[in-house]
Amino acid sequence: MTKLTKSLKQYLEKYDIVSDDIRINAVLDVNENFGFSDTYLVLTADRLVLAAYEERKSGHVHQFGGYSHTEQSEQADMPAIRIFELENIEKLAVIREISGGALYAETKEGDIRIGRFTNSRMGEVQRFIGALDKVKKGEELTQEDIEGKNKMECCPK
């Protein structure tokens, strides 16, 4: 689980989401234009929250498959927020791509692409999907559900 920034926690309070409500969170690290930007996935007992930031600020170094990449654009101070009620989400699914994946939500209104991520986030996203399934069933999350196993979650080469 990635730690939420203090500013994001404060911003989520405007939407009646406090730290104690958060069951698990994860970060998608690629935007729809395939630039590096963070979209935080935040799961509460009854909502899925997306907090999407603009592309990262100049000079930020991003590790991608063992290679460093320096970003050229700036990150916005506050993310764009999108909130889904869990009762409207049937499930989350990943479509694997060459260097990462795309996360989709199957909803009562149809499929929605939530976002994209690199392979380095695959394990984190898979844990998040498992946690969402458990929360929807009313089950408690274990520490392993939240933190995963202590192993490398992406290809080391």
Q: Which of 102, 29, 91, 87 is closest to 61 using CA atoms?
A: 29
At position 39, the amino acid (one-letter code) is: T
Element housing 28 (H / E): strand 24-30
Specify the pLDDT at position 77. 74
Q: What is the mean pLDDT of the chain?
A: 85
User: How far lies 62's CA from each of 76, 94, 118, in Å?
Assistant: 17, 22, 11
Query: What spatial distance separates the first Cα and last Cα of the chain, rounded to whole Å?
Result: 23
**CA 79 to CA 128: how far, in whole Å?**
20
- Cβ of 62: how many Cβ atoms within 10 Å? 17
Q: Please state whether 59 falls in left (phi above 0), alpha (psi between -120 and 50) or beta.
A: left
pLDDT of residue 72: 42
Q: According to the model, what pLDDT value does residue 74 have?
A: 40
pLDDT, residue 105, reads 96
pLDDT of residue 149: 73
Tell me the whole-structure pTM to 2 decimals: 0.81
Residue 73: its pLDDT value, please? 39
Q: Which residues of the chain have pLDDT under 50?
A: 66-67, 69-75
Q: CB count, 10 Å around CB of 6?
A: 8
Give the number of other Cβ atoms within 10 Å of residue 121's Cβ.
22
Task: State residue 13's pLDDT score.
Answer: 95
